[in-house]
Structure 1
Amino acid sequence: MNEVSESTGHDEVPRAGSGSGSSSVEAPQQMPQAPDEQHADSGEHAAHRLFHLASQHQEAIVAAQQAVRAGQCIVLPTDTVYGIGADAFNADAVKRLLEAKHRGRDMPPPVLIAEPAMLPALAADVPDNAKKMIERYWPGALTLILRAPASLRMDLGDTEGTIAVRVPADDAARELLRHTGPLAVSSANISGSAPATNAADAEQMLGNSVAVYLDGDPTPGPVASTIVDFTKNRTGRILRQGVIAFEDLAELSPGLEPLANPVSDASAEPTAVPDGQPAVEQTTAEQADAGVEAAAAEQGGSPALEETAKDIDPAAQEEHDKPKTPEA
């Protein structure tokens, strides 16, 4: 997983930061409150709890829902890696998620949703080719970057009016999402560290910055979801090669742009990535986003994609370096 950040933000936002209006996302299902449940202090030093999904399934789902409702962070398994999640409509909760990972607003998390039917409430436009990919690969390891509607009340960070969304192919994650609504989710790790593929590793890294840990089976990681950006054209372009192969997606979207000149050696010197792109989940241990940030600082840039040279599109970087012309 890596997702999703699967993950699935919250102030008002025409560009994920300001604006008014409300989305039409269906209200999440309400779970009965556990009789011995107490709402923990949302401060970062509050003690965390860990639940085993195999033996404490209902209790775990209830506790996670209550933590999300209280504006706290949770850790959950997905179909790629473990993710740290927070209420996507609560700006303070998203801020806690970013702080837990030691990152800023320039790397906003993706959003995970329970069903493809929820997408129209989060995206202003879904091209036909994106719909074909959704039909084939959702739920699954496919993250789509789309334009967010001006009325969407999410503050995920510096998204420049875009949103990264996916539906994870994990039963527990989707069950929880049906009760919480959309979650901002990023890989469960400190930036620069390997993403966790089990709850113990996530707990060791994130500690009490997370209120509730859902311990399921080890996830399939470390390969993350494939990311396709539909904000630049109607056929899409690959921003990160992940579980789903380019060739398979190109069958559904002729004209899909591949990842340009991918670097095979993940240890190669990282390069700054274009501003104004939503953050994506970390893929493997070699993808040290700390190195990306350092390289960006040297070049006066600010990376908004959690990627290294292995995943960066040099053509996009070249375009980014050109003088900017105000849009009409």
Structure 2
Amino acid sequence: MKLGLKTQILPADAAAVAEAARCLASGGLVAFPTETVYGLGADAAQGPAVARVYEAKGRPSFNPLIAHVADLASAQAIARFDATALKLTAAFWPGPLTLVLPKTAHCPVAELATAGLDTVALRIPAHPVATALLRAFGGAVVAPSANLSGHVSPTTAAHVASDLSERVDLILDGGAVQVGVESTIVACLDEPMLLRPGGLPREDIERVLGRPLKRLPEDAANDDDKPLAPGMLASHYAPHTPVRLNAVDVAPDEALLAFGPAAVNGGHAAKAVMNLSATGDLAEAAANLFGYLRTLDAKGARAIAVMRVPQHGLGEAINDRLRRAAIGR
């Protein structure tokens, strides 16, 4: 890739969305907001454009990408939906749920985007800018998080520019995102299986299905050689500063990522303190997670000490991201 591209950052109005759709059609890269995080978009059908996404992110080419579409009819041209998959789409699309499904015979998504698998990851995002862009473009758009691979995911246009300025053609600035963690990924290939916790709590999905989701074995969940879905590399979402989990105390040269009203030993003397949610609200914590990690990463601390976050609801997704961040770079 030629670095030094002149990256446009435009307020996400109708004119900018139209310009972004033209950019995608010409093989360009467009970062845009979804309700989960900002995505780095390219035409899913153009192999060279998909290759630019991997190159811009420094992303391993074996890691598959999610294809974003505007509606169910577009999704059904790409993948085969069984009754279970259709039940989930009726309940949760548009929204922060990605389904991994068998490809159709004439799936238009480039092989590079599916990492050579027989399956494809699909989602209909629930964000007005994403919806407008997908409708204006008229095709599927692959859009992993718009950050350098393995780094903290972006929840504002400024985060995207910090990582990818001069690597992408255009950034649509739609303000801060609402959910703040990536989509939940469920495979509908046999029995529905949770591949990645995310912005849709597992409990909500199980309530619709009327049964528990299967769990991926731990060795498969962290298989860096052949991940089954996006966001499954063992080390992922990582700041440059080391992350220490389940902290009950903090040293003066550490930053503290707190949660809830409880204090920790040494918290008053920490190099920096940010609280994901002082009231213990998991939705607020998810929305703040990546932005706060980025802010603390810039404080020059020896480590980021993270207080315990409950495992239920959105806490499952928050803890998944923190665990992968703590593995390191």
> What number of residue pairs does the alignment pair up?
241
Q: CA deviation at 1:190?
A: 0.4
Report matched runs for 1:207-246 at 5 Å: 207-231=165-189, 233=190, 235-246=191-202
Q: Is the 8 A contact 2:36 2:180 kept in 1?
A: yes
How far apart, CA to CA, are the structure 2 residues paired with 1:79 and 1:141?
Answer: 7
Among 193, 202, 209, the alignment partner of 1:253 is 209
User: TM-score normalised to the size of structure 2?
Assistant: 0.66
Q: Does 1:310 align with 2:310?
A: no
Q: Does 1:288 align with 2:232?
A: no
Among 194, 200, 215, the alignment partner of 2:152 is 194
How far apart, CA to CA, are the structure 2 residues paired with 1:274 and 1:281?
Answer: 10
Q: Does 1:275 align with 2:226?
A: yes
Q: Is the 8 A contact 2:193 2:216 kept in 1?
A: no
Q: Is the 8 A contact 2:31 2:146 kept in 1?
A: yes
- Structure 1: runs of 5+ lacking an equivalent: 1-41, 264-269, 291-306, 312-328
Regions of 4+ moved over 4 Å = 260-263
Structure with the bigger RCO (C-alpha within 8 Å, sep 6+) is: 1
Report matched runs for 1:49-198 at 5 Å: 49-53=8-12, 57-123=13-79, 125-155=80-110, 156-180=113-137, 181-198=139-156
Go from structure 1 to structure 2 and tell me whether the alpha carbon gap of 1:157 and 1:165 turns closer, same or farther (over 3 Å shift). Answer: closer
Identity of aligned residues (%): 29
Q: Does 1:48 align with 2:7?
A: yes
How far apart, CA to CA, are the structure 2 residues paired with 1:116 and 1:281?
Answer: 26
Cα deviation digits, residues 186-215 of structure 1 (max 9, x gap): 001101210110001101101121101100
How far apart, CA to CA, are the structure 1 residues paired with 2:204 and 2:198?
Answer: 12
How far apart, CA to CA, are the structure 2 residues paired with 1:165 and 1:183?
Answer: 10
Q: CA deviation at 1:110?
A: 0.4
User: Whose strand fraction is larger, Structure 1's or Structure 2's?
Assistant: 2
How far apart, CA to CA, are the structure 2 residues paired with 1:281 and 1:143?
Answer: 13
SS of aligned partner of 2:6: coil
Match in the other structure for 2:261 = none
Q: Is the 8 A contact 1:198 1:217 kept in 2?
A: yes
Go from structure 1 to structure 2 and tell me whether the alpha carbon gap of 1:59 and 1:145 turns closer, same or farther (over 3 Å shift). Answer: same
How far apart, CA to CA, are the structure 1 residues paired with 2:59 and 2:148?
Answer: 8
User: TM-score normalised to the size of structure 1?
Assistant: 0.67
Match in the other structure for 2:268 = none
How far apart, CA to CA, are the structure 2 residues paired with 1:211 and 1:118?
Answer: 26
Q: How large is the Cα RMSD of the aligned pairs?
A: 3.0
Go from structure 1 to structure 2 and tell me whether the alpha carbon gap of 1:160 and 1:253 turns closer, same or farther (over 3 Å shift). Answer: same
